[in-house]
Amino acid sequence: MEFTIEAIETPALTKAQLADLLFEQIGLNKREAKDMVEAFFDLIAARLIEGEDVKISGFGNFQIRVKAPRPGRNPRTGEHIPIGERRVATFHASAKLKEQIHGVPEAAHEPPVAWTVGADAQ
C-alpha cells in the first residue's frame, strides 16, 4: 500500500495530516483516524518512557540514552553550572530508509568485484 502526500503544503508532517491521510486513502472515519495516530504515538512514547527500544522495521529505531553529567556554562554570565545526568531519546534510521533518502540502489551495497592483474593481463 502506498500513500501519496501531494496535498501537504507545510515542510513538516503533522499528526493531523497523518490522520487526514488515513481518512482519505484508507477510508477510516476522521475520529478513528485521529485516534489511531494518537494511539500510535502514545504507544511509542510509553515504551520509551519505560526505557524500552522501539524498532519499526524498514524505518528505524528509537532508543533512550542516558547522558552523563557534565560541566556547563551560562552563556550570558559565563558562570559555570553543572549539568546533571539526563535521559534523551535518539533515532537511528534503518538502512532501507537511508537508501530511500539518499537514492542509493540496493545493488550498490554488493561487494566490489575483485580485479586481478597477472601475467594474462597484457
Comparing 8-12, 72-76, 92-96, 101-105, the range with the smallest average pLDDT is 8-12
Q: Answer yes or no: is 121 within a domain.
A: no
CA dist 17 and 86 (Å) reads 32
Q: Which domain holds residue 19?
A: 12-52
Nearest to 64 by CA among 83, 45, 82: 45
Q: Answer yes or no: is 30 within a domain.
A: yes
Specify the CATH number for the domain of residue 85. 4.10.520.10
| Residue with the larger pLDDT of the pair 121 and 52 | 52
What does the pLDDT look like over 43-80, one tens digit per residue?
999 999 999 999 999 999 999 999 999 999 999 999 99
pTM: 0.67
Q: Answer yes or no: is 4 within a domain.
A: no
pLDDT of residue 61: 97
CA angle centred on 92, ends 61 and 101, rounded to 5°: 115
CB atoms within 10 A of CB 37: 20
Helices 30-49 and 15-25 pack at an angle, to 10 degrees, of 130
